[in-house]
């Protein structure tokens, strides 16, 4: 939200204040029963900077979270006008994704890919070593799961798409993805 044009904030102020939005043609849309959620990366640079001096290694996880939350809220106060912040019910600071979270997200992304492939009467199985490698290469404290999504697209989806186009994979195939010599390997079963 911090990258939004100032006019967007004016619209948000109207929406958050009045519970309605008026477009350029005078049409009014009610937002009285809506939940508005905005996301931001405020404070992410400060949080990820090494040796920031906030003592993460010496504190407990809950204390770390409180330090991070205070840092983010202070950055938000510097960046946003008080009239905007005062209209928000809450600022929620999420915990940084862990490697375990990334692994779970990788599993979900593979399941979603499997659902999409089922439309083509194909299925995919990715062994645990391949998912481990995806999770390791797709892990980023700063960027979350975005690198993982791109990695799965580039290393799994695109090669499968090419093999479908070239006829290497056909309707009804079960595609196995494994790791061989550190590279993703694709095979099929009828």
pLDDT tens-digit readout, 99-135: 889 999 999 999 999 999 998 899 999 999 999 999 9
* 135, 177: one domain: yes
Would you say residue 160 lies in a domain? Answer: yes
Q: Contact at 8 Å (CB) between 97 and 145?
A: yes
* 150, 112: one domain: yes
Would you say the pTM of this structure is higher than 0.85?
Answer: no
Instruction: Find where tokens 């939940």 sit.
Output: 35
* 75, 140: one domain: no
pLDDT in tens, 126-184: 999 999 999 999 987 777 788 999 999 999 999 999 999 999 999 899 999 999 999 99
* 185, 105: one domain: yes
The domain boundary, picked from 58, 85, 112, lies at 85
Helix (H, G, I), strand (E, B) or coil at 48: helix
Domain that holds residue 67: 6-85
* 136 C-beta neighbours (distance < 10 Å), count: 14
Q: Contact at 8 Å (CB) between 30 and 18?
A: no
CA dihedral sign, ordered 7, 31, 80, 40 = negative
Q: What is the CATH number of the domain that holds 121?
A: 1.10.8.60
Closest CA to 42 of 88, 11, 10: 88
- Domains of the chain: total: 2
Would you say residue 185 lies in a domain? Answer: yes
In the beta sheet, which residues pair with residue 178?
Answer: 185
The domain boundary, picked from 28, 62, 85, lies at 85
């Amino acid at each position: 939200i911090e990258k939004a044009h100032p006019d967007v904030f004016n619209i948000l102020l109207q929406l958050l204040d009045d519970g309605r939005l008026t477009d350029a043609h005078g049409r009014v849309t009610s937002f009285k029963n809506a939940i508005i959620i905005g996301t931001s990366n405020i404070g992410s640079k400060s949080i990820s900077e090494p040796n920031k001096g906030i003592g993460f290694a010496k504190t407990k996880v809950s204390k770390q979270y409180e330090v991070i939350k205070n840092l983010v809220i202070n950055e938000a106060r510097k960046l946003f006008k008080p009239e905007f912040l005062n209209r928000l019910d809450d600022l929620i600071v999420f915990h940084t994704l862990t490697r375990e979270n990334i692994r779970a997200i990788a599993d979900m992304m593979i399941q979603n890919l499997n659902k999409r492939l089922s439309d083509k009467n194909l299925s995919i199985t990715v062994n645990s070593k391949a998912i481990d490698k995806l999770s390791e290469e797709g892990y980023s404290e700063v960027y979350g799961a975005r690198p993982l999504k791109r990695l799965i697209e580039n290393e799994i989806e695109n090669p499968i798409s090419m093999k479908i186009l070239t006829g290497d994979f056909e309707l009804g195939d079960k595609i196995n993805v494994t790791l061989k010599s550190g590279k993703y390997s694709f095979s099929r079963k009828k």
